[in-house]
Amino acid sequence: MKIIFAGTPQVAVPTLQALVDSPHEVVAVITRSAKPKGRGKTLIPSEVGAWATEHGLNVLEADSLRGEEIQSKVASLNADLGVVVAYGAIIPQHVLDMPKHGWVNLHFSDLPRWRGAAPVQRAIEAGDQTTAVNIFQLEAGLDTGPVFFSRQVAIDEQVNAGDLLASLAESGAPDVVSVVDAITAGTAAATPQVEDGVTYAHMLSKADLALDFMKSARVLHNQVRACAPTPAAFTELPDGKRLKVLRTQVAADCPVALQPGQVHATKKQVWVGTADGVLELLAVAPAGKNQMEAAAWARGARLEENMILGAVEGA
């Protein structure tokens, strides 16, 4: 099977590697273009682009597949199948029709729940206890195509979005190869998605990052997990500086009663009051500094007694 692979971030690399290691032939890798980074604005290729170049693959950089030049290149490949993992742009119907068997996509949710760009983050934010590895046929609608393969995965109540996404990417890679094998053999069968339970996983925005301690401890804990390790949820200190909150847990108890946003710290623990209980801060990153244990931050910051974090809405 001659395959075109389209992907950009690190989570797409395991599937690309699995396809390269399989009997199938990866005839080209489409990835988004290199971006300037650092003070020198050095062009840095995507993680997929870097891996593909290192392994001698044919790399096509394109931020969109709507241009005539990239469409001509894709058509000239005469591929049997396209495989997509987090490419980052919509593939036009004309391009979807180019490979003999169309395109399949590896998606990290239990479709039709959490169609869209941030399924792992939104599942954690919502407090979902399970998600899934899904491989489906791409079509014009947003993640609406029939499903070839689905496997449920439990979501640990402490796992963050970055770690869960990495785990799903690794475990889903061999599943993609199995689906490609079945398509090659003519034994693949896809099941149409139901329309009941459709939800959309929009990309995280700045509004999703600020912690409001008038919310429940569980909701805040899930928000922190959904935003970690990046872009990271945050709160504001009394001096206006931001404090990124990277790891928390819902506290079973606290030595003192706390109002929403009020902080209590000992040498080993840091608690913040919420609408219905207490959230324990485990790891934070002060402005301009790396991640550290919350207790270490509190010791160094010499927190004022009864300090209030954040602009507490409704207070």
Known binding-site residues equal 109-112
Q: What is the rounded distance in angstroms from the CA atom of residue 135 to the CA atom of residue 249? A: 33
Give the three-class secondary structure for 94: helix
Dihedral angle, C-alpha 105, 110, 111, 114, nearest 10 °: -100
* Rounded (10°) CA dihedral 51, 57, 59, 65: -100
* Contact call for residues 95 and 19 (beta carbons, < 8 A): no
Q: How far is CA 261 from the centre of its chain?
A: 28
CA distance 173 to 85: 10
Contact 5, 26 (CB under 8 A): yes
CB-based contacts of 188, cutoff 8 Å, min separation 6: 148, 179, 182
Q: Whole-angstrom Cα distance, residue 13 to residue 160?
A: 20
* Binding site, annotated residues for (6S)-5,6,7,8-tetrahydrofolate: 109-112
Question: From residue 235, how far is each of 211, 219, 242, 312 by CA, in Å?
Answer: 6, 15, 6, 10
Give the whole-angstrom CA distance, residue 160 versus residue 155: 9
